[in-house]
Amino acid sequence: MQNGIRREIGLGGSKFSLSDARKRAAIVRSAINNGNDPAQVLKPKAPRSFLDAAKGKLESLNLHEGNAKNQYQWERTAYEHCKPLHNKPIETISTDDVLKVIKPIWVSTPETGRRTRNRIEAIIDYAKAKGWREADNPARWKGHLKEILPKQRDTVKHYSSLPYAEMPDFVTTLRERIANHGATSLNMLGFVIMTAARTNEARLAKWSEIDLEAALWSIPADRMKTGQPHTVPLNDWAIELLKAQIPSPDLKLSPDDYVFKSNQRDKPLSNMAMLTALKRMGRSDITTHGFRSTFRDWVGDCTKFPREVAEVALSHSVGDAVERSYRRSDALKKRRQLMEAWNDYCAGVHSGDVVWLHG
């Protein structure tokens, strides 16, 4: 009886045996005694899907409160790479199901393959903790997929870099092309070289991050590989390249505007812009990212600057107390001297901090 109205429900008719019918009747009586709707108690619950578990796991991680890059990678794994698993009941996911997702990327893109396996395992562990699955985790590594998946090749990615001895000549050529063409992609290439920045750090730079008077570029944490904000002292040519991106001295720039905008409204240049610029310079043998290696080799071989200064200038994760000290504001002066010495070296100017090896 509900709201004063008596209802009648069947126990399933002839499709259940007498024994099963008695069990269902006991369930109904228990539900009534506890004030529950017996019809809802008898209705079988739909099994949870892999997508349900993935959403639950992502929500439990509170990714929106942390590194935006980590959030993006988790969501891409859950919603793109694992799409073939979405509609499968989490309790029925098998090793074969997991392998169908992982195998195609395990050798071709090893890092993505490893991350995908790790995250599938975490999602299924979440489902087990919620009581949605009882069987072992088919994505576990030790004693399971480790014995099935092929060994991955060396996954260290080497970017083709320019020998630092060739940098003065290269920069001279780049400056000439900028003077003749004035392309945004060339300006951005010069800026990346002068700041030793990663491509996306520069490509997505906004004017709100730039302080021309203080000659500083403050990159927010959500765009950094380390997940930590990074401040870059800007040398003379970097400042010059930024000023070249201002269409008119009287133009008031919006803080949300990209520094290196594409021809499309409110869009940054594409990832391919600088590679295309290099190709047009006849240097398809090197990559934009490779200039970071050029910079690092130059610091180690040709300057008196400590290794720790170079590592922080490259925004590498640093561990010991000495290296961490170079992230403090009172050590910015040393990094500014380093970037100014890099500017001078690339311009062919002698510097007291550099052991001159060119020409």
Q: Give residue 271's pLDDT band: very low, low, confident or very high (50, 70, 90).
A: confident
Q: Reduced to 3 states, what is the DSSP secondary structure of residue 38? A: helix
Would you say residue 129 has pLDDT above 90? yes
Q: Which of 57-66, 175-184, 196-205, 340-349 has the lowest mean pLDDT?
A: 57-66
Average pLDDT, the chain: 83
Contacts with 43 (C-beta within 8 Å, 6 or more apart), sequence order? none
Report which DSSP code applies to 282. Answer: T
| Residues constituting the chain | 359
Contacts with 181 (C-beta within 8 Å, 6 or more apart), sequence order? none
- Report which of 225, 195, 193, 203 is spatially closest to residue 291, judged by C-alpha positions: 193
Burial letters for 312-329: b for 16+ Cβ neighbours within 10 Å, e otherwise?
bbbbeebeeeebeebbee
CB 78 within 8 A of CB 72: no
**Bridge partners of residue 210, in order along the sequence:** 217
Contacts with 48 (C-beta within 8 Å, 6 or more apart), sequence order? 89, 90, 91, 127, 130, 132
CB 67 within 8 A of CB 141: no
Q: What is the pLDDT of residues 22-45, one digit of tens each?
A: 766 666 676 666 666 665 555 666
pLDDT at 108: 78
- Report which of 248, 269, 279 is spatially closest to residue 192, judged by C-alpha positions: 269
pLDDT at 236: 96
Contacts with 166 (C-beta within 8 Å, 6 or more apart), sequence order? none
Q: With 0.75 as the threshold, say if the pTM is over it.
A: no
Would you say residue 156 has pLDDT above 60? no
Domains and CATH numbers, the chain: 1-44 (no CATH), 50-147 (1.10.150.130), 164-346 (1.10.443.10)
Would you say residue 255 has pLDDT above 50? yes
**Cβ of 346: how many Cβ atoms within 10 Å?**
25
Long-range CB contacts (< 8 A, 24+ apart) of 94-100? 94/138, 95/138, 95/144, 95/145, 95/148, 97/138, 98/138, 98/139, 98/145, 99/145, 99/148, 99/149
Provide the CA 209 distance to its chain's centre, in angstroms. 20
